[in-house]
Amino acid sequence: MSVSRRHFVGGIAAAIGALKVGSDVELFAQNRPAGAAPRMATPAPDDWDGYAHLSSNENCWGPPENVMKAMNGAWKYSNRYGYPDGNIVEEIAKHHGVRPENILLTAGSGEVLDVVATTYLLGGKKVLGVEPTYSTVYQHATSIKTTAIKLPLGKDYRQDMNAMIKAANTRASEIGFVYLCNPNNPTGIHVSSAEVKQLLDGVPKGMPVLIDEAYHHFVDAHDYATSVPYVIEGRPVIIARTFSKIAALAGMRCGYAIAPKEMIDQMRPYSMGSINALVKWGAVASLKDAQGQAKIKKMVVDLREKTSAELRGYGYEVLPSQTNFFMVSIGREIQPVIEEFRQRKVLVGRPFPPMTTHMRVSVGTADEMDRFTKAFKDIFPAKAAVRTTAVA
Ligand code: PLP
């Protein structure tokens, strides 16, 4: 029996209505392919501020004053196609010690993930990565009628480089590229620079590796490093970066790829090349704002560690995170728990199969974290304290 799209959409809309949400845009927007996990339904606009937004790993403090000033100064270009853009591509290239030809500017790093997937998977090749991870590349693979080879996480929820290398070699002819999210979303756990090297040395020569560094700016681990030097070496490595996290510009949509020129040339035809005037100026101001970024990082790390310690003291294991979010083991299925938090005006992360008895929580303001902890203690009983896991 076939189910018409109208009926299907109607059913979803009714479900959303029951949740009292503003619209169904989040479920259907942003070209999410069929079969993609739905985004969290968004609270209605008049109710928006009443929620603690801890579900999407955003920067709760918003752009600092100098970034706002730079964006506000660019309004005068809003009616133009051609305008000064703050030399954003040159500034990004200078920031990383690469050439402008090594940069592809995109509407958020989500576009980088889509563009890489289109470039290297069209024709039926597969992406190799772990599960759970940030699943945009997998969803995009589905939308272009191919699939992913997904490996389970290894010990302590870490990405297993040996397994990745083995699969990359034994199934080389099927694979279009390897995806490594570092640090990984949703676990918050990083891959050391030695492990990245092991992976890059171990995969078949010439196999593209996409390294997603969306949360790079929050990492403290002494054994972590950006993988940009591999691009400079000329290896087939693509780095994805975003202004959505540390720079607090998620709603403005700006990110970029760093890769060898030949790869950027292969990718560019699949990118939109359409970034708004305001964010270009804001992004350049943010790139130069090391002090502002350090301030955000400190607030995030302090609040993350404070909340994690409180949860461990209450008896719940928290994974050691290097990002602006963390995962707590709740010992039961997450889906109904999301709703329990929602009823308490706290939005927490979606399910990340197969880790469906863990909850991902983004770091919000001190007040939001207090509200989260209070709701947590309301929903879950106290248990014997968990001994602190050392942060690598
Ligand atoms: N990569 C990772 C690991 C993410 O977590 C996200 C967003 O949460 C993105 C990429 C995409 O972010 P944006 O498109 O806003 O740059």
Whose C-alpha lies nearest to ligand 1, atom 1?
214
Ligand 1 contact via 110 beta carbon (within 6 Å)? yes
Q: Taking 90 as the threshold, does the pLDDT of residue 19 lie above it?
A: no
Work out which ligand 1 atom sits closest to the CA atom of 111.
14
Predicted confidence (pLDDT) at residue 21 exceeds the cutoff of 90 = no
> Percent of the chain scored above 90 by pLDDT?
85
Which residues are CB-neighbours of 46 under 8 A, at least 6 positions away? none
CA 251 / ligand 1 centre spacing (Å): 12
Task: Using the mean position of ligand 1's atoms as its centre, give its distance from the Cα of residue 293 in Å.
Answer: 18
Q: Are residues 177 and 224 in the same domain?
A: yes
Residue 44: pLDDT band with limits 50, 70, 90: confident
Q: Name which residue sits closest to atom 2 of ligand 1, judged by CA.
A: 214
Q: How far is the centre of ligand 1, averaged over its atoms, from the C-alpha of 272 (Å)?
A: 17
Q: How many domains does the chain have?
A: 2
The answer to the question of residue 93 being in a domain is: yes
Q: Whose CA is nearest to atom 9 of ligand 1?
A: 110
Mark which of 233, 254, 287 sits at the end of a domain.
287
Q: Are residues 283 and 338 in the same domain?
A: no
CATH number where 331 lies: 3.90.1150.10
- Ligand 1: nearest atom to the Cα of 215: 3
| Dist. CA 77–CA 343, nearest whole Å | 43
Residue owning the nearest CA to atom 11 of ligand 1: 110
Verify whether ligand 1 is closer than 6 Å to residue 134 (CB atom). yes
pLDDT of residue 45: 86
Q: Are residues 276 and 215 in the same domain?
A: yes
Amino acid at 82: G
| Pair (117, 142) in one structural domain | yes
Taking the centre of ligand 1 as the mean of its atom positions, its distance from the CA of residue 314, in whole angstroms, is: 31
Question: Is residue 387 one of the residues assigned to a domain?
Answer: no
The C-alpha atoms of residue 58 and residue 185 are separated, in whole angstroms, by 13
For ligand 1, what atom is nearest to the CA of residue 244? 15
pLDDT confidence of residue 40: 60
Asked, for residue 384, whether it belongs to a domain, the answer is: no
Q: What spacing in Å lies between the alpha carbon of 214 and ligand 1's midpoint?
A: 6
Q: Cβ(244) to ligand 1 under 6 A?
A: yes
From 259, 287, 315, give the residue that closes a domain.
287
User: pLDDT tens digit string along 113-170?
Assistant: 999 999 999 999 999 999 999 999 999 999 999 999 999 999 999 999 999 999 999 9
Are 328 and 20 contacting, i.e. CB atoms less than 8 angstroms apart? no
Tell me what percent of the chain is helix, strand and coil, each rounded to the nearest 5: 45, 15, 40
Distance CA 116, CA 266 (A): 9
- pLDDT tens figures, 88-123: 999 999 999 999 999 999 999 999 999 999 999 999
Answer yes or no: are the C-beta atoms of 256 and 112 closer than 8 Å: yes
255 lines ligand 1 (CB under 6 A): yes
Is residue 308 located within the same domain as residue 272? Answer: no
Q: Is 57 in the pocket of ligand 1 (CB under 6 A)?
A: yes
Same domain, 263 and 330: no
Domain presence at residue 5: no
219/238 same-domain check: yes
Pocket of ligand 1 contains residue 181 by CB under 6 Å: yes
Would you say residue 388 lies in a domain? no
Reported confidence tier of residue 388, pLDDT bands at 50, 70, 90:
low
Q: Which residue has the tokens 């949509």?
A: 253
Q: Is 218 in the pocket of ligand 1 (CB under 6 A)?
A: no
Q: What is the mean pLDDT of the chain?
A: 90
Please enumerate in sequence order all residues whose Cβ is within 8 A of that of 325, keeping only pairs 6 or more positions apart, or say none.
57, 185, 186, 188, 304, 349, 360, 361, 362, 363
Ligand 1 mutation target, pool 30, 136, 258, most atoms within 8 A of CB:
136
Is 136 within a domain?
Answer: yes
Contacts of 140 (CB under 8 A, 6+ apart): 33, 113, 114, 117, 118, 121
* 3 within a domain of the structure (yes/no): no
Tell me, what's the pLDDT at 23?
A: 33
One domain for residues 102 and 235:
yes
122 Cβ neighbours under 8 A, 6+ residues apart: 144
Assess if residue 386 is contained within a domain: no
Q: Is 214 in the pocket of ligand 1 (CB under 6 A)?
A: yes
Q: Is 8's pLDDT higher than 90? A: no
Of 262, 287, 312, which one is at a domain's C-terminal end? 287
Same domain? For 274 and 332 the reply is no
Q: 74 C-alpha to center of ligand 1: Å?
A: 25
Q: Is the pLDDT of residue 232 over 60?
A: yes
**From ligand 1's centre to the CA of 349, what distance in Å?**
14
**Is residue 39 in contact with ligand 1, taking CB distance under 6 Å?**
no
Q: Is the dihedral of CA 371, 376, 379, 381 positive or negative?
A: negative
Indicate the pLDDT class of residue 228, thresholds 50, 70 and 90.
very high
Within this chain, do residues 220 and 322 fall inside the same structural domain, yes or no?
Answer: no
Q: Where in the sequence is the domain holding 354, given as residue range(s)?
A: 10-62+291-379
Question: Residue 196 is part of a domain; what is its CATH number?
Answer: 3.40.640.10
198/77 same-domain check: yes
Q: How large a percentage of the chain has pLDDT more than 70?
A: 89
Element (H, E) at 314: none
pLDDT digits (tens, 9 = 90+) for 266-310: 999 999 989 999 999 999 999 999 999 999 999 999 999 999 999
